[in-house]
Amino acid sequence: MAATLTLGIQASCALTLFPVISKYFMMALEPISSAISAFMNKKFDDRTLVVGLDWPFMGGANEIWLAVFWAIPVTLVFSMFLPGNEILPFAGIVNNAIAVAAFLVTGGNIIRMLILVTLFAPAYLWVGTIMAPFISDLARSTGAVALKAGELISCSSIDGPIQTYAFSHVFKIMDGNFLPLVLCVIFVVCFIALYKYLGKEEAEGREIN
């Protein structure tokens, strides 16, 4: 009982401090990004250059953290009742990367973000379950984690779970599993369509200017 309470307090502290620390990262990196962007844009007058940073740069967006914290109970509920899931998420549950993608896709519309986070929660659990044997074998071979016989570890917040599953299992077609191949084709088609759409928007923007 004491160990459970201690773990609960530690988890609560982590969930409370995580967004605060991310805001500090954002505040520290923003001047650097702005200065480098300004310097590079002076060197290249014919184009606009933007310095790319990891998603914590957007850590100040309250919508992202609201979606992340919404995903925590949703993922836990799914983990208890979702057929085919064998993961009990904990360590990586706050790293729900779909919240960042949802923020960009929806323009910060919190209702749509919560819907997307809820819809994608099962994908994280399923893919984490599928990848568990591979991750566990890697842990054993490197000696990174001491696992008992029959124990498996995995990640419940693998970035791009659908793409990860599709491209890592695409050769399962030899075993009669065509789902990864289908997902790969869908991903490539959507990527090309998005690339053309963004290119068209950029061209239209140049014409207006």
Nearest to 71 by CA among 130, 129, 120: 120
Residue 104 has pLDDT above 70, yes or no: yes
Return the residue matching tokens 């990640």: 155
Average pLDDT over residues 162-171: 87
In the numeric block, which tokens belong to residue 92?
A: 């990586």
d(CA 136, CA 169): 17
Q: What contacts 117, CB < 8 A, 6 or more positions away? A: 67, 68, 70, 71, 74, 96, 98, 99, 102
Kindly tell me the burial class for residue 165, based on how many C-beta atoms sit within 10 Å of its own C-beta (0-12, 13-18, 19 or more).
Answer: buried
Distance of CA 18 to the CA centre of its chain: 16
pLDDT in tens, 47-78: 766 666 666 566 667 788 888 888 888 888 89
User: Sign of the CA dihedral 14, 18, 19, 20?
Assistant: positive
Q: pLDDT tens, 152-161?
A: 888 888 888 8
Residue 43 has pLDDT above 80, yes or no: no
Reported as a single tens digit per residue, the pLDDT across 140-149 is 888 878 888 7
- Among 3-7, 69-73, 169-173, 203-207, the minimum mean pLDDT is found in 203-207
Q: Which residues contact 145 (CB under 8 A, 6 or more apart)?
A: 139, 153
Tell me the pLDDT band of 171, cut-offs 50, 70 and 90.
confident
Name the residue among 21, 16, 109 with its Cα closest to residue 67.
109
